[in-house]
Amino acid sequence: MVLSPPPTLSAACRSDHTDTYHGEVIADPYRWLEDAGHPDTRAFVEAQNARTRRVLDALPQRTALLERLGELWNFPRRGAVWQEGKAFFQLRNSGLQNQFVLYTMDAPDAEGRALLDPNTLSEDGTVSLSGLAVNRDATRLAYAVSQGGSDWQEWRVRDVASGEDLPDVLPDSKFSGVSWLPDGSGFFYARYDHPEDGHRLSGANRHQRLWLHRLGTPQDADELIVERPDEPEWGFGTAVTEDGRWLVVNVWKGTARQNLIWIRPLEDRGAFREVVGEFRSGFQLVGSAGPLFYFLTDNHAPLGCLMSYDLETGEWQEVVPEGHSRLLGVRMVAGGFVLHTLEDASSRLTLVDRRGGNPRPVPLPGLGTVEALHGHADRHEVFLTFTGFLTPATGFRLDAASGSLTALWTPALAVNLGGYEVRQEFATSRDGTRVPMFIVARRDLVLDGSHPTLLYGYGGFDISLTPAFDVSRVAWLEAGGVLAVANLRGGGEYGERWHRAGRGAGKQNVFDDFAACARFLAGRGYTSPRHLGIEGGSNGGLLVGATLTQSPDLIGAAVAHVGVLDMLRFQHFTIGWAWASDYGRSEDPQDFAVLRAYSPLHNLTRRAYPPTLLTTGDHDDRVVPAHSYKFAAELQHVQQGEAPVLLRVQTQAGHGAGKPTRLIMEEKADVYAFLLSALR
């Protein structure tokens, strides 16, 4: 390790606060750091940031890394095309713009014109787009803006032809999209009560309501469509079917992939038909044809299947049965469906007819990920992007009639990646489970255990880590690093059984899988423990924290971003209660025993830990920054030896979504410089 010891920092004040959980007294000496607005907390953050900057700014690689990241990042990028009416839309970035710009075109490969540039909404680029919805005839755009990375959204409306905003402004929305009425006169959206002063970034989010907003009317005139005061944790999403006949309400409860489905005629105000009336499985609306509604579901099919429901007869029918691979997504097109499956964590596409028959595989460019599928039930044309670890996102048009896949545009990356390759290896976890892992490295890599290696993981909430291009990782590879991305239990790579094996009482499996991957990398000669760094964010930050406390001897450095690190109190802030579907709650005695056993904050002991960098945002209203504040203070308190424990708090930033390019590059430069110095 070549990191210098950090400057001396006055120890954070430790209080004598304790809580009693099921007879066990738990100390919480840094409870005061949960009050983000308190002067003492602000002083703590300022002191930590000043110390962290003195360490990171002195690293010899940082300046060169930041300069190189600016060079690598500066290439045009585009998202997937989508169509409404006769118009096409796409998000684009010319290279170093802080936020992507929305374009509208008259053809999918046309140059078009800028319709909405969020870079003009703030001087520092911290106002971002968090939602977009174009109405059926492409005359109106509903868009949501968020400030400083917050999950809170404000919906606005823009005239597509003129590019001018209408008077409609709808604040206090969160975790909501928009569904337009067929005639474009209004839309459905969800919102919460206006948060109390001082609780916008930490208050619990409950009692979401579903509203219909009519254009040109004030928000307080919105029509209430659904509320359930008896079920404060229920949330509501909507879809208006393409034929304009039906309103479909998706009722969610937390982050579990279980939901209710309610349907009624669009213009009715009577009772909904409860098509799915209990939280037992996940049901995702694919589309409809007359009285038939199609759903992607894992009900009695852990890997997923496609089912139809007849609104007239109430009968369910299997259209595409469960296969041997995870069915991740389905797009309804003219005459059939496009099936998106995962095989060992990489994408496959297959075309089938409306009965689920006549399967036709769609050849993809290689090992990678289909990131989006946009199309309509009455058209053969489907738009998508494809990416891989060494392949920037590329736009394609799929003709569902012929099965042909045509590139619309290819990004011009100013670096040759031909000297690198992607390998897929499989580690064996403690209980014998086979755990896949992608490894990206030079083709001529000598397996002598000397290479700085970054192991990244997540392992939760049915989220799959599939091959995707991150331009910052090119800088890591160029510096001689190896990248490993682990597909841990708790994710969605192999369906609901894989997810369930890493949640609740099975959460320890996730940490065991990650440790197995670390041992595999060292055992095969890619690296050695002192050259191995680990990284993860959010639930992946929990993964890093648990690995740090359980297996510190396996690693040489740790980086945890916006981590969930206090497993006894996460449910008390913002949307944290929703994570109980994966974690459980400390109020339950059995859950408490599991949480107490691995909670990173509560398993730190006096010993020498490897160099650790914790990052968070002062506006993070999903995983509140107190998790990182408390963990950093406790880790600094118990740390033995000279390895630094650094806390990096980004101002005007949240959980990560919408973070401007400038701030991303600065953070990446800090992280890679820290790791390269720690792992040499």
Torsion-angle region of residue 207: left (phi > 0), alpha (psi -120 to 50) or beta? left
Q: Which of 288, 325, 655, 677 is catalytic?
A: 655
**pLDDT value of position 199:** 57
**pLDDT value of position 10:** 74
Report which residue type is found at 25: V
CA distances from residue 246 to 164, 181, 241, 344, 585 in whole angstroms, order as listed? 31, 10, 6, 37, 38
Q: Roughly how many angstroms between the first and final C-alpha of the chain, as a whole number?
A: 6
Partners of 326 in the β-ladder: 342
Q: How many CB atoms lie within 10 A of CB 423?
A: 14
Q: Which of 538, 586, 599, 628 is catalytic?
A: 538
Our answer to whether residue 637 is catalytic in this structure is: no
CA distances from residue 379 to 85, 228, 290, 337, 348 in whole angstroms, order as listed? 12, 38, 16, 11, 21
- Write down the residue that tokens 């713009």 correspond to: 97
Confirm if 18 and 29 have CB atoms less than 8 A apart: no
Nearest to 88 by CA among 68, 116, 108: 108
Determine the Cα–Cα distance for residues 482 and 455; give it in Å rounded to an integer.
9
CA distances from residue 649 to 46, 146, 412, 618 in whole angstroms, order as listed? 9, 19, 34, 6
Backbone angles phi, psi at 67, to 5 degrees: -65, -45
- Write down the residue that tokens 């410089």 correspond to: 673
Count of H-run helices and E-run strands, the chain: 10, 39
SS3 515: helix
Displacement of CA 69 from its chain's centroid (Å): 23
Determine the Cα–Cα distance for residues 483 and 500; give it in Å rounded to an integer.
27
Query: What is the mean pLDDT, run by run of 10 residues, along the chain of 680 residues?
Result: 67 93 98 94 96 96 97 96 97 97 97 97 92 98 93 96 98 96 98 79 86 98 97 97 97 94 96 97 97 97 98 98 98 98 97 98 96 96 98 97 96 94 98 98 97 98 97 97 98 97 98 98 98 98 98 98 98 95 97 98 98 94 96 97 96 82 96 97
- Write down the residue that tokens 């959204």 correspond to: 153
Per-residue DSSP letters for 544-585? HHHHHHH-GGG-SEEEEES----TTTGGGSTTGGGGHHHH--
**pLDDT value of position 259:** 98
38: tokens are 């308190």
Q: How many CB atoms lie within 10 A of CB 497?
A: 11
Partners of 146 in the β-ladder: 128
64: tokens are 């060169």
Determine the Cα–Cα distance for residues 211 and 223; give it in Å rounded to an integer.
6
Per-residue DSSP letters for 166-229? EEEEEEEE-S---EE-TTSSEEEEEE-PPPPTT-TTTS-----EEEEEETTS-GGGPEEEE--T
Confirm if 567 and 542 have CB atoms less than 8 A apart: yes
Q: Are strands 532-537 and 453-456 parallel, antiparallel or unpaired?
A: parallel
Displacement of CA 236 from its chain's centroid (Å): 20
**pLDDT value of position 652:** 76
Partners of 614 in the β-ladder: 560, 647
Our answer to whether residue 531 is catalytic in this structure is: no
Determine the Cα–Cα distance for residues 470 and 401; give it in Å rounded to an integer.
33
DSSP label at residue 193: P
Nearest to 214 by CA among 238, 179, 240, 188: 188
Q: Are strands 434-442 and 453-456 parallel, antiparallel or unpaired?
A: unpaired
SS3 672: helix
| Residue 35, Cβ density class (10 Å: 0-12 exposed, 13-18 middle, ≥19 buried) | middle
SS3 186: strand
Nearest to 623 by CA among 34, 21, 13, 18: 34
pTM over 0.75: yes
Determine the Cα–Cα distance for residues 607 and 531; give it in Å rounded to an integer.
20
Determine the Cα–Cα distance for residues 208 and 228; give it in Å rounded to an integer.
8
